[in-house]
Amino acid sequence: MSDGQQNTLHRPLADAVTAWFPENKQSDVSQIWHAFEHEEHANTFSAFLDRLSDTVSARNTSGFREQVAAWLEKLSASAELRQQSFAVAADATESCEDRVALTWNNLRKTLPVHQASEGLFDNDTGALLSLGREMFRLEILEDIARDKVRTLHFVER
């Protein structure tokens, strides 16, 4: 689909986003996110958030919901970061839970890249170097995981 929207039923973006926040913040968050309902890939991003909430990490990892909520707050404040994130999430809902988890990891990497492009590290080369090392290590781990997956003999259901 050229516009990046799925034809399947999904709940409104604002509803999918507010579900990640404590009840006392949901009204304010909903108002903010209603403005983004018609952005490209908004529907698939909504579906991605719903799939993410059903992952093992979301159910069992302490602080996971808070991490997602903090990240969503950053997306609401930056159109560029939001557009990048919506695009990254566009194909995550078409596959298994592992694909959703991988997409979440990829989305988390868009934030520091965005911050660097906005000049956040211009006066702190040590922090930029540390970030670069961290991202390099993550990339190596992802390569190892991809190689391992290729060696496994199973069929996705």
Q: Which residues are catalytic?
A: 96
Q: How many CB atoms lie within 10 A of CB 155?
A: 4
Helix spans in the chain (H): 13-18, 26-34, 42-53, 56-60, 64-77, 79-88, 97-117, 125-151
State how far the Cα of 152 lies from the Cα of 71, in Å rounded to an integer: 33
Spatial distance between the Cα atoms of 117 and 127, rounded to a whole number of angstroms = 14
